[in-house]
């Protein structure tokens, strides 16, 4: 189910503004890849270009190639809606659908894909997804209550359950813990460890300890200079990044000397 | 009815003392504006109640074709509600569709132009709509009315003998629908455009098409706004006088479900406009009493709308 991602010479624009320039990388299947870097260097922008969410912003476009297991995502014959069904996304701020119950939130994506879902199947899927997101025991008695009634950390895990309910091949997470308290954060980090066995995970984080804890590979993004586009400075196994990075700028950023 | 209390806007130059006085003045003005609306409403109500009171039990001959106030007013209220509700049934899907197109499908320049044109529609005087409905739309719709009667005549709405002039409830409802379209569209457009990006992207990231995203994010977020827009439109349709007077061939208060015949129920407003010019002072009093009925009815509709809006908002908080 999990797939690898090959990115080559990717330039990402907002209208005429080049936000991210010349990214090359390979994200391995069944691994966790983390992106770090100062804010505004294009981590979110790059992440959103991996499931064609970038282009929902008016004027936004991409040059270059993103290949998921041999299939080029930006090929004219590829339907962006189909891409997003295979590559799920969790956002910085938890965003359960406010008018839906917990149960319906989990099923939201499945109902898009399969139209009619049998009750027994639906129940099983809701339980499996909520268990997968480590949320089942906390909400199993109030599945029909609104998702908005949960705490921030629970809402974020609900969003993860919603994303994995459609069994995507890749899961993208954009600073999924930045709005959460430490306990919820650690719950989500544990979850990322477990999900790794089934999914390819790409996570943006502003927290370097988190990148060190959860990821196998790390990419460091930076701005060449203020006003210049962001770019990928270094991409290496996390162990190497945090002990002996190839690039001086990476070392400086990681050891907290700038950024 | 909007009594707004104002927060102190400026804290920074409290030293000068001037801003606090400004606050007090503004607060006073806002309060006076709010209060004057209440006074005007109360004034209208009291005027209608005092001047119309005698109309509830006037001489039986004034309530043609009935003999007392209740069936007379009920017949008029029926006509009023029938035309207005039909108009909303036609207008709301249009307004929602147009507003969705403007906010979520049309490219920006096109959507600006269309929105402007629809707003212009609101500036057309209702007598012009009436004349247009009478002279242009009515004749144009005659074949459609005949077709409905011929093929769907087994449904009571379309039964009976089709009016030769086309000045029917059917035509009046369509003209009213066009007249309320701008206000209902404007409100829908406003709320659709305010859908949080967060929820739209939640749907898109799950692989929703644009229409599915609208169903998952835009419409649930906008439900109370759609209700509010519908009720404002309904309020306008209930009270519309000139256009209905011109377009509808009314034969006084009556209860009938036939939409295509020449024997149509009058509405309260058109009935007042039609008969108030006469010499008969007693009849004028009866008409004032029906005006009171319309006033109270419109008020109740608005309260019901508010209640629905508040309830649907509270449900998910
Ligand atoms: N919707 C947008 N429209 C225009 N420019 C944007 C938009 N979103 C982000 N940008 C710009 O793209 C650059 C990268 O932003 P972003 O990807 O959000 O960075 P990061 O996630 O690393 O903080 C920034 O210069 C930002 O101002
Ligand atoms: Mg970001």
pLDDT digits (tens, 9 = 90+) for A48-107: 999 999 999 999 999 999 999 889 999 999 999 999 999 999 999 999 999 999 999 999
Q: Which residues of B touch A82 (CB under 8 A)?
A: 207
User: Average pLDDT of A231-242?
Assistant: 96
Q: Determine the CATH number of domain B60-316.
A: 1.10.3720.10
Our CA-based measurement puts residue A85 at a distance from the nearest CA of chain B, in whole angstroms, of 4
pLDDT class of A18 with cuts at 50, 70, 90: very high
Contact in structure between A62 and A49 (CB atoms under 8 Å): yes
Q: What is the pLDDT of residue B316?
A: 54
- Which ligand ends up closest to the CA of A43? 1
Cβ burial, residue B317 (10 Å; 0-12/13-18/19+): exposed
Mean pLDDT of chain A: 92
Contact in structure between B220 and A98 (CB atoms under 8 Å): yes
Q: What is the pLDDT of residue A2?
A: 72
pLDDT class of A257 with cuts at 50, 70, 90: low
Our CA-based measurement puts residue B108 at a distance from the nearest CA of chain A, in whole angstroms, of 10
pTM: 0.85
Residue bearing the bigger pLDDT, B190 or A115: B190
Cβ–ligand 1 contact at A45 (below 6 Å): yes
Q: Which residues of B touch A163 (CB under 8 A)?
A: 205-206
Picking from A97, A113, A166, the nearest residue to B216 by CB comes out as A97
Q: Could you give the domains of chain A?
A: 5-96+169-254 (3.40.50.300)
Chain B residue closest to A147 (CA)? B316
Contact in structure between A23 and A232 (CB atoms under 8 Å): yes
Q: What is the pLDDT of residue B11?
A: 47
pLDDT class of B15 with cuts at 50, 70, 90: low
Q: Which atom of ligand 1 is nearest to the CA of A39?
A: 23
Our CA-based measurement puts residue B217 at a distance from the nearest CA of chain A, in whole angstroms, of 7
Rounded CA separation B275/B280 (Å): 9
pLDDT class of B126 with cuts at 50, 70, 90: very high
Q: Which residues of A touch B209 (CB under 8 A)?
A: 81
Indicate if ipTM > 0.90: yes
Residue B317 has pLDDT above 70, yes or no: no
Residue partners of B244: CB distance under 8 A and separation at least 6: B83, B130, B172, B175, B176, B267, B269, B270
Q: What is the pLDDT of residue B8?
A: 47
User: Average pLDDT of B40-55?
Assistant: 93
Q: Answer whether B205 sits within 8 Å of A88, measured CB to CB.
A: yes
Residues of A at the B interface (Cβ-Cβ below 8 Å)? 51, 53, 56, 58, 81-86, 88-89, 91, 93, 95-100, 108-109, 112-113, 146, 148, 159, 162-163, 166
Q: Which of A10, A13, A14 to mutate to test the pocket of ligand 1 (most atoms within 8 A of CB)?
A: A14
User: Average pLDDT of B13-42?
Assistant: 84
Q: Which residues of A touch B198 (CB under 8 A)?
A: 91, 93, 95
Residue B160 has pLDDT above 70, yes or no: yes
Mean pLDDT of chain B: 90
Picking from A51, A95, A99, the nearest residue to B202 by CB comes out as A95
Q: What is the pLDDT of residue B288?
A: 94
Q: What is the pLDDT of residue B10?
A: 47
Rounded CA separation A36/A204 (Å): 6
Residue A113 has pLDDT above 80, yes or no: no
Residue B153 has pLDDT above 80, yes or no: yes
User: Average pLDDT of A204-224?
Assistant: 93
Nearest to A47 by CA among A212, A202, A216: A202
The highest-confidence range among A53-57, A186-190, A221-225, B118-122, by mean pLDDT, is A53-57
Q: What is the pLDDT of residue A230?
A: 95
Residue bearing the bigger pLDDT, A225 or B142: B142
DSSP per position, chain A: ----EEEEEEEEEETTEEEEEEEEEEEPTTSEEEEE--TTSSHHHHHHHTTT-GGGSTTEEEEEEEEETTEETT-TTS-HHHHHHHEEEE-SS----TTSBHHHHHHHHHHHHHS---HHHHHHHHHHHHHHTT-HHHHTT-TTSBGGGS-HHHHHHHHHHHHHTT--SEEEEESTTTTS-HHHHHHHHHHHHHHTTTSEEEEE-S-HHHHHHH-SEEEEEEESSTTSPEEEEEEEEHHHHHHS-SSHHHHHHHTTS--
């Amino acid at each position: 189910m999990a797939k690898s991602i090959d990115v080559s010479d990717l330039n990402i624009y907002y209208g005429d503004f080049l936000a991210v320039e010349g990214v090359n990388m390979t994200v391995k299947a069944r691994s966790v890849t983390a992106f770090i870097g100062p804010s505004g260097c294009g981590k979110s922008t790059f992440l959103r270009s991996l499931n064609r969410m970038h282009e929902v912003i008016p004027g936004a476009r991409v040059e270059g190639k993103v290949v998921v297991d041999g299939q080029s995502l930006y090929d004219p014959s590829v339907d962006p809606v189909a891409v997003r069904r295979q590559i799920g996304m969790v956002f910085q701020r938890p965003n359960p659908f406010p008018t839906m119950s917990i149960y319906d939130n989990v099923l939201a994506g499945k109902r898009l894909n399969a139209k009619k879902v049998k009750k027994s199947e639906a129940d099983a899927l809701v339980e499996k997804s909520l268990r997968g997101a480590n949320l089942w025991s906390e909400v199993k008695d109030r599945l029909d209550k609104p998702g908005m009634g949960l705490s921030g950390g629970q809402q974020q895990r609900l969003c993860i359950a919603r994303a994995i309910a459609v069994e995507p091949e890749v899961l993208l997470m954009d600073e999924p813990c930045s709005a959460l308290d430490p306990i919820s954060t650690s719950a989500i980090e544990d979850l990322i460890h477990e999900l790794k066995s089934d999914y390819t995970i790409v996570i943006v984080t502003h927290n370097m300890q988190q990148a060190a804890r959860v990821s196998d590979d790390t990419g460091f993004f930076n701005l060449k200079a203020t006003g210049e586009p962001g770019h990928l400075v270094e991409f290496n196994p996390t162990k190497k990044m945090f002990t002996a990075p190839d690039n001086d700028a990476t070392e400086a950023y990681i050891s907290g000397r700038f950024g | 009815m909007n009594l707004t209390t104002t927060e102190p806007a400026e804290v920074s130059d409290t030293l000068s003392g001037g801003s606090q006085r400004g606050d007090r003045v503004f607060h006073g003005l806002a309060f006076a504006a709010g209060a004057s609306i209440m006074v005007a409403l109360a004034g209208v109500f009291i005027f209608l109640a005092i001047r119309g009171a005698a109309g509830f039990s006037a001489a039986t001959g004034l309530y043609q074709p009935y003999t007392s106030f209740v069936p007379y007013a009920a017949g008029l209220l029926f006509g009023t509600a029938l035309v207005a509700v039909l108009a909303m049934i036609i207008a709301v899907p249009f307004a929602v569709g147009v507003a969705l197109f403007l906010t979520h499908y049309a490219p920006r320049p096109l959507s600006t132009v269309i929105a402007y044109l629809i707003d212009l529609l609101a500036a057309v005087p209702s007598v012009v709509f009436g004349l247009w409905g009478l002279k242009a739309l009515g004749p144009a719709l005659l074949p459609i009315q005949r077709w409905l009667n011929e093929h769907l005549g087994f449904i009571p709405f379309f039964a009976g003998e089709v009016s030769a002039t086309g000045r029917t409830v059917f035509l009046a409802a369509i003209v009213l629908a066009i007249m309320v379209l701008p206000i209902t569209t404007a409100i829908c457009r406003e709320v659709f455009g305010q859908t949080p990006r967060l929820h739209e992207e939640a749907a898109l990231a799950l692989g929703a098409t644009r229409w599915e995203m609208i169903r998952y994010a835009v419409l649930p977020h906008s439900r109370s706004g759609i209700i509010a827009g519908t009720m404002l439109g309904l309020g306008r349709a209930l009270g519309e006088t000139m256009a209905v007077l011109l377009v509808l061939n009314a034969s006084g208060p009556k209860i009938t479900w036939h939409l295509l015949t020449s024997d149509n129920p009058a509405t309260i407003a058109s009935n007042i406009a039609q008969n108030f010019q006469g010499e008969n002072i007693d009849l004028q009093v009866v008409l004032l009493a029906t005006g009171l009925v319309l006033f109270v009815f419109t008020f109740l509709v608005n309260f019901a709308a508010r209640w629905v809006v508040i309830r649907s908002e509270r449900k998910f908080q």
